[in-house]
Structure 1
């Protein structure tokens, strides 16, 4: 496959990305993603490919995580499987974070609707149907639900029979459902008692909300277009975006905001020379200058968090200084 992920078919340029063998089953056994860019000019195709290229690579990344977390949909793992425990814990943390964000969104919707809309109830109904179906399947083969699941199903039946459903009670029940059916499934992956204890501890810990930042695919795509208009080389732009993605992943994993201190810690985590760290800061500053055109961004980040970092810089004919 071409390095630039482009292919010309009958005079039209297409963007294409190969799908790794181990996850092709998630995409109907397709061997590649391919999409027409509807242009016959390669220079234009190089720009247009960016959005689809990021989308295809995100689909591949998401599919890889699903290989480890197939039980996310609520199916309790019957037998332990051989997976990397570090990856397992990372997937569990990601699901916990997503559930916490959904909980915050439900509370906001509840407040915005003058305390009438209870979105949790709709999610509970979906879980209830799944659990009831599982109970029927067990009964058909002469088996019974696990006592914890049976107790949960009984409480769900009582909840559904109530004429009015409070927000607090709905959230409490939904949290039990998520802990038992989605997070609880990870216990089946643990290979020994110590790993099971670690999984149980992580499930029980309150989830710390990830602080929002402007490092996201939408802004990266717009940044890419902006740099192209400035006639920056595509190679330099790709390096900028790759470095920004590294910072984004670091902030998300550590649950840090985008500020001076987080940037400092990120730079310290890099196993590279100061000269390379300066290149990272150059990429970050280019992104900051682009985003500063946005009013909301200027209000949230009036001070550039990528300036004045203690990285040694050597200029020809001058001594080392800190920048």
Structure 2
């Protein structure tokens, strides 16, 4: 290859980049190449740069995956090796008993089990035919040839980063040593299980992140996944006790899944106590949790006035007069402005809890704002948002803007956008509105079967009467 990564072919210059051997199994290529569609070498030198940058980024990303890939390949080889070893044991036993038919059936069962590894039936069937109906001596030859053929096929299918190590495991599964019971393959299976259960994507990603950190710590410090190991790990975490409990929750979820769904894990750990349970997290005396504080009417007016004419001002006004969560407001669509019993309402379709779906009447001071937002809307949503994250959350940017605003105005950590929700509830309570009506407006449970299960709750006119007692902006 030319030292400057370009080569002339048929009058056109091409850019080329060799893929390092360690990442070829991940990228599934030995070289990158692309036509620069020019016969000018000077122009080719300029045009090659974006290609090289993109390819080098891909190589760097692949290198980050190599460690996980190597672990997956070792696990795959171990699983295949166990299947082959189990087959050999059964086949030898059946052959010794003269049960040739059963031994042949065991061969086909093995082929089915290894099918997920990319087994080539056409390469195996002639071997089965060759020895079909043979005596015990032939059976021994068949076992040897079949084992060697399967091992070669599995190696080809895996395309291992470390071929020697995988080859050793295939020949003898005892060569496999898992550094931690929290393996990459198990994490993948756990992730798939959680997503199929409908667990929120962000929650799943957070659980996986915490499990991977625990896995790395266990391996780095050569610790067992037991009660003492988890306890020591928690002591290394520089975070609030609430976050430590969330680490325990992630681990507990993984453990219960693995005991129930992973046969190997269950066999190895069924007699062991769940290491994530009965962990004592010491509370630091004298340290009180900072509770969110409600804004006063004056506070809300100050916040609103500071960003008047901006989307953030519209968001603050909506929050002040609806008590809705920030993401609930950012998810409102133009089509969610509805009429219920002749009352203009906002239909909040989805939110944090099962009670979040609700109808919130529009306060008279909100009507001009709602009308303007609906008219100016560029798309489905009522409020414009500059971006949304990978979880579909639209409030990120506005939430950060609000955080900077309240900090600039001298408000501390105890004041957040959610404080508007607390203010809304407090104002209604101070206006002698019943708790049942307030809970219905903000989407809270009442804690009683009578109202949570059997009652449809206050109607739109009753809720509007309650909200109309507010005078904020």
* TM band (smaller chain): 0.3 to 0.5
Higher-RCO chain (CA-CA 8 Å, sequence separation at least 6): 1
- For normalisation by structure 1, the TM-score amounts to 0.35
- For normalisation by structure 2, the TM-score amounts to 0.25
Question: Rg bigger for which structure?
Answer: 2
